[in-house]
Amino acid sequence: MSTCDADHALEALSLLDTVDLAGLNAEAELQTRVDRKYLVPLSDLAGVIDALPAGTRVLDLGGERSLRYASQYFDTPRLDSYFGAVHGRRRRFKVRARSYLDSGGAFLEVKTRGARSATVKERVPVSLDATADALDDDAVSYATELLTDAGIPGAAGLATALVPVLVTRYRRTTLLLPASDDSGPSRGTIDTELLWLTGTGEGGRMLRLPNRVIVETKSGQRAGALDRELWRRGHRPATVSKYGTGMAALHPSLPSNRWNRVLARHFARASISAVSATKPTDLDAGAAALRRREARRALASAR
């Protein structure tokens, strides 16, 4: 990552007023919304933030404005989730354990798209974090129920076969943008320090994308201020999925037509390195066994 570009972005964010989580949800809950994703060079980020309208605020949780996230994605050995996404299948699913590393919270999330093309995301709190390497019986039952409700073919067999295939890790900053004359308040997230990890031991590989950030906007039917500023600077919405695009970049033999443009434009110079068999990388894998035991207890009590 360019230290200079990162410092400029941090300085721009430090000048914004803050909002807490309750205030963010109260002002821009946006249950019905349009989501757009952008892959933006880190060098452009400070200029984008500087140009946002007066009254833009940044989410502050316990004095932190840039919060660490980690997600462990699960798929079947046949990669049913991946192939459902890359081929745009009508009924598809995604399962992940998402950890909020600074706040300590974690959720098992199941996202499905059913017959009516409506995307539904359900989640249950757990102690499971991004380094967990299995779903226990309660988690499998939870996933089976949601996949079945969404009409995913072979739901029971799919949930039972789920294994960990990819870890993502990043820092997220959340913005609250004020209403304008023609649009209501909107939200945006900025993900930096993007990292993907697949495999374990000598077969593991790590991908870093230090000079890019993922910006996601959430607005009503009209585009918000963050969208418009990105458009003014020549950035257009991109088809990008942390799971799908990361898998395609780390496994070039997989079909990737859905993300070919993004891969060619933004991932061509990504840093990919082997993972040492003796060093668990910076994903804090050393405490995985303890967290797995905690996860089983937490999920059992949550259901």
Residue-level pLDDT at 127 = 67
Selected residue with higher pLDDT from 115 and 98:
98
Average pLDDT in the chain: 84
The tens digit of pLDDT for each residue in 218-265 reads 887 788 899 999 999 999 999 999 999 999 999 999 999 999 999 999
Give the rounded percent of residues in the chain with a pLDDT score beyond 90.
52
The tens digit of pLDDT for each residue in 266-282 reads 998 888 888 765 444 44
The tens digit of pLDDT for each residue in 4-21 reads 777 888 888 888 999 998
Residue 45 has pLDDT above 70, yes or no: yes
pLDDT band at 128; cut points 50, 70, 90: low
Residue 51 has pLDDT above 80, yes or no: yes
- Tell me which long-range contacts 14-20 makes (C-beta under 8 A, separation of at least 24): 14/65, 16/49, 16/56, 16/57, 16/58, 16/175, 17/55, 17/57, 17/58, 18/57, 18/58, 18/59, 18/60, 18/65, 19/57, 19/58, 19/59, 19/60, 19/176, 20/59, 20/60, 20/61
Residue-level pLDDT at 24 = 87
| Global pTM value | 0.85
Residue-level pLDDT at 288 = 44
